[in-house]
Amino acid sequence: MVYLEQEDEYRWRIPARGNMRVPGRIYASEAMVQDIKKDNAPKQVENVAHLPGILKASIAMPDVHWGYGFPIGGVAAFDADEGVLSPGGVGYDINCGVRLMRSNLDKADVIDRLEDLSLALFDAIPSGVGRGNKKRSLSDRDLEGVLNDGANWAIGAGYGRRADAEVIEEGGAFAGADPSRVSKRAKERGKPQLGSLGSGNHFCELGYVAEVYDEEAARAFGLEKDKVTVMIHSGSRGLGYQVCDDALRMMMKASKKLGITLPDRQLAAAPLNSEEAQKYFAAMACAINYAFANRQVMTHEVRQTMGKFFGEDDVRLGFDLVYDVCHNIAKWEEHEIDGVMKRVCVHRKGATRAFGPGHAKVPARYRDVGQPVLVPGDMGRYSFVLKGTEKAMQETFGSSCHGAGRQLSRAAAKRAAQGRPIFEELIEKGVYVRSEKRSTVAEEIPEAYKDVQNVVDVMEGSGIAPKVVKLVPLAVVKG
């Protein structure tokens, strides 16, 4: 059992004990903590606190649940000289992330055409386990461009608008990529999959702005009540998975060779200045860029599909990119440690960057209000856009939650959905869902997830990331 001390309404502390180098901190309401305790996630928060060079605390967001090594919803920052890099702190789906588009369409323009619209989007965007994109398979040269330049390669190849890169985290191209560090097998898996959703909880969702909580921030983000939006959630597909798999084998050997004591072998890590860490970082950067390009190509497909469906130029329809955020990532950032700005390596696994107003990394158009934070919920309820704050910079290394967080395993969700007309249930809620397989939708039924309203209420109540707008789904293509 992991002992949790309640600090205040939304913060819970795991005191440092034994070989823990820092305490743990979990952001959650009292009701949520009871469920979190039933999972193995608090123990993983405690385990992460043992890693060399960890700073301040091992942190978990309110959507926290058990993961590989680090919990999903975990955040940890490491000292540049004494810290480590851990693939388990990034995850298998490197740069799984979310992007949001806003449009000039009103809800009334689409509400009577959702069945046809959902089919059009389903036809345009490949989805499902192992599925690739039949319209394109990358050449060796193109793949090299993707791994080096990310979304900027896609934009240069005609998949998007130049302005898109201004509102993608890291400008859509993560520095430090070296394609020579990506294995042949990873490249083979990535070539046919660019511009596809993948499986599981990945999706392309047509929705609308149902509520506005912060008029100033919503105006800055270009989000208006009742306007149609599109959210895309996907990552680096088989390429990123293989990069992680390759790195874990290397890191396990490195941990043993270097005598790093670990409470869990899944936390395999190497010092940030080691050859092993630098090899993984360079390959991870390539996977990050692949994911940026992947979401960029799908953005282009959505715009083309909507333009064709409504018989209008997609630019006139809008579908401007609001923002694109990363989830599973490790990156160098500047943060204040004991009153001094330091360069640290921040691991965010199932967590979203949430930089506050005035930060140079926030796009200029949003700098007065803070970075958009995109938090998808389940396909039957709602999602939220939050904004980053100075409080997040002080407490969580500029991080927030990334979604609702599972509360049922995929197997349990399938059992709960057995015999139910799940597609019809969702249509009754006003949501048209398309998927290659019924089993995929069964795994993703709304009750498989925490109510994301409760999750974002913790972020708002703690001052980390207040709500800006609520988005309600209308049509969903599932991975």
Nearest alpha-carbon partner for 354 in 306, 396, 416: 396
How many angstroms from the chain centroid is the CA of residue 222? Answer: 21
Beta-carbon contacts of 169 under 8 Å, excluding residues fewer than 6 positions away, are 97, 323, 324, 325, 326, 353
Three-state DSSP class for 153? helix
The pair of three-digit structure tokens given for residue 454, joined into one six-digit string: 């409760």
Helix and strand numbers, DSSP H then E, in the chain: 16, 19
Dihedral pair phi/psi, residue 182, rounded to 5°: -95, 130
**What is the rounded distance in angstroms from the CA atom of residue 315 to the CA atom of residue 277?**
43
How many angstroms from the chain centroid is the CA of residue 95? Answer: 7
- Which residue type sits at 238? G
Q: Where are the alpha helices (DSSP H) in 318-451?
A: 390-395, 410-417, 422-428, 438-443
Q: Where are the alpha helices (DSSP H) in 105-236?
A: 107-110, 114-124, 140-149, 151-156, 184-190, 215-221
Nearest alpha-carbon partner for 61 in 50, 76, 51, 47: 76
Catalytically annotated residue among 50, 202, 335, 402: 402
Place of tokens 């506005």: 212
Neighbouring-strand partners of residue 231: 100, 205
**What is the rounded distance in angstroms from the CA atom of residue 394 to the CA atom of residue 396?**
6
Active site residue 202: no
Question: For 87, which DSSP code?
Answer: G
The pair of three-digit structure tokens given for residue 312, joined into one six-digit string: 């209008």
Measured between alpha carbons, how far apart are the two ends of the chain, in Å? 36
Supply the residues annotated as catalytic.
402
